[in-house]
Chain A
Amino acid sequence: MSNPWIKYTLFFIFLVFFQGLVVQNVNLSLYFNPMVYPLLIMILPFEFGVLATMAIALVLGLSVDAFSNGFGLHASATLLIAYMRPTILRIIRPRDGYNNLLTPTIYDMGPIWFMSYASLTLVIHHFWYFAIEMFRLDHFFFLLSKTISSVVFSLLLIFLIQYIFYRAPKK
């Protein structure tokens, strides 16, 4: 697969279906609500423009919404992380900056960097999602615990997907 955009497109389709038909249907508990599709926004190239990221986020979010009766809520949260992505990347920038030949994945950047990157992104995404979904202030601790437990499961799934789909680059 030489062209990275074919890879991204296939990955887009896979994530939408995996989220809509599998992850969405695991109704274990109110605290268990993982979302894996933000991974697509995370692994876009470092120098990718904000406007283009937001366009992808809008399409991705609305596709997931179509599968889960979200009516635009997934799109809203995904737009937020697309807009915040440059800021997040700046916060956790390594000492000598980013190498543009690499992509923000586990294999290129290492599990520790990816862990902090993914958890920051997911916390913002999930917190926004659950806060808008509930839309009330009196359940703040419920909202926090729901966010934290769901982020843990999302992280697990995202790490699994990365290890399954990405092979270590040949050196």
Chain B
Amino acid sequence: MRRLFQFLKRFRDFLVFTILQVFVLTLFINGKNYHSTKMTNTSSVLIGWFMEKKYEISKHLYLAEANKQLMEENARLRGLLPSSYFQLQGNTYSVNDTLMKQQFEYIPATVINSTSNKANNYFTLNRGSSNGIEIGMGVISSEGLVGIVIDVSTNYAIVMTMLSNDIKVNVKLKENNEYWLLNWDGRDKEIGQIEQVKRDVPLEIGDNVVTRGGDKQFPEGIAAGTISEIVSTDGEQTISLNIKLAVNFNAVYHVYVIKNLLKNEQIQLEERILENE
């Protein structure tokens, strides 16, 4: 009889352990999913407050670097202004442009918490749904592609960065528009991977890879990286590419969240076609 009780006690411990383990692992797997409720993360009000305070204390440490990045971006944009071009022909005429319609807006935000040494790395931003950020929006920095918003609260947002197992972004080769998916295998902070590349695509080390556009999140042509290595295995139909990522994820301070103004129109149109099928 005592044996039985002993066995039951040990079995009860194991049962409780298994139930709790299933519970937390379900949380973990749901957490990596876009459209599911999440219990614990840094977008909650209390933790967000602590993160904000931590950022307030530590921001002075890298102010110089952050300012340098912003200045470089300003300089590049200033170079694109009409006033910085030398006029070759006579007068130019300005027209009220009715041919173009703005598609993308950029919401500036500051990174208040970040990691770059995990298998899934996230940023916490100090802007949330009150500033118009929604789940699924793309995020870029002045250097290039950063990631996708996976959760928002009123004042904070969580970004899944390119340094995550679960992220895949549509990218293409700048030169000839061949397009693939960019992902990360967790081995090196600076190198992303593209798999399933056909062998007959003309490419060289150093070619630029940019976002493809058309996936509702990123406009076309945001820098993603450059090809750093071509990995070909004998006997395989396809090759894979190592991409040196454009963004240094150790030093991202200010980012832009991309708002696609035509997103709903695109979704509606695409859904109508899917319904007809």
Contact = CB atoms under 8 A, between A and B. Distances in A.
Interface of A: 17, 20-21, 24-25, 27-30, 32-33, 50-51, 54, 58, 61-62, 65-73, 75-76, 79-80, 83, 130, 132-135, 139, 142
Given A66-B44, A69-B41, A79-B17, A135 B24 contact: no
Interface in B1-60: 12-14, 16-17, 20-21, 23-28, 30-32, 38-42, 44, 47, 50, 54, 58
Given A67-B47, A69-B41, 11 more contacts: A30-B186, A33-B117, A51-B12, A51-B16, A62-B24, A67-B50, A69-B124, A76-B25, A76-B28, A79-B21, A139-B187
A79 B117 contact: no
Nearest to B113: A25
Contacts of B113: 25
Contacts of B115: 24-25, 27, 68-69
Nearest to B26: A72
B165 A135 contact: yes
B116 interface: yes
B16 A134 contact: no
B242 interface: no
SS class of chain B's interface: helix, strand, loop or mixed? Answer: mixed
Interface of B: 12-14, 16-17, 20-21, 23-28, 30-32, 38-42, 44, 47, 50, 54, 58, 113-120, 122, 124, 158, 165, 185-189, 250
A76 B21 contact: yes
A76 B47 contact: no
B176 to A, nearest CB: 31
Contacts of B187: 30, 139, 142
B119 A21 contact: no
A130 B250 contact: no
A73 to B, nearest CB: 5
Contact of B118 (A33, A61, A142): A33
A71 B38 contact: yes
A161 B114 CA distance: 25
B188 A66 contact: no
Contacts of A28: 117
Nearest to A138: B185
8 contacts: A17-B50, A20-B50, A25-B113, A25-B115, A27-B114, A29-B189, A33-B118, A54-B17
B24 A32 contact: no
Nearest to B41: A69
B30 A69 contact: no
B61 to A, nearest CB: 11
Nearest to A77: B24
Contacts of B40: 62, 65-66, 70-72
A132 B29 CA distance: 10
B121 to A, nearest CB: 9
A77 to B, nearest CB: 9
Contacts of B16: 51, 54
B122 A132 contact: no
Given A72-B24, A134-B165, A32 B38 contact: no
Nearest to B47: A66
For the complex of A and B, the 3 pairs showing the least CB-CB separation, nearest first, are: A71-B31, A72-B27, A72-B24
Contacts of A133: 118-120
Nearest to A133: B119
Contacts of A27: 114-117, 250
A21 to B, nearest CB: 5
Nearest to B30: A71
A133 B164 CA distance: 10
Contact of B21 (A29, A51, A80): A80
A47 to B, nearest CB: 15
B42 to A, nearest CB: 6
Chain B CB count within 10 A is highest, among A29, A72, A73, for A72
A104 B187 CA distance: 37
A33 B118 CA distance: 8
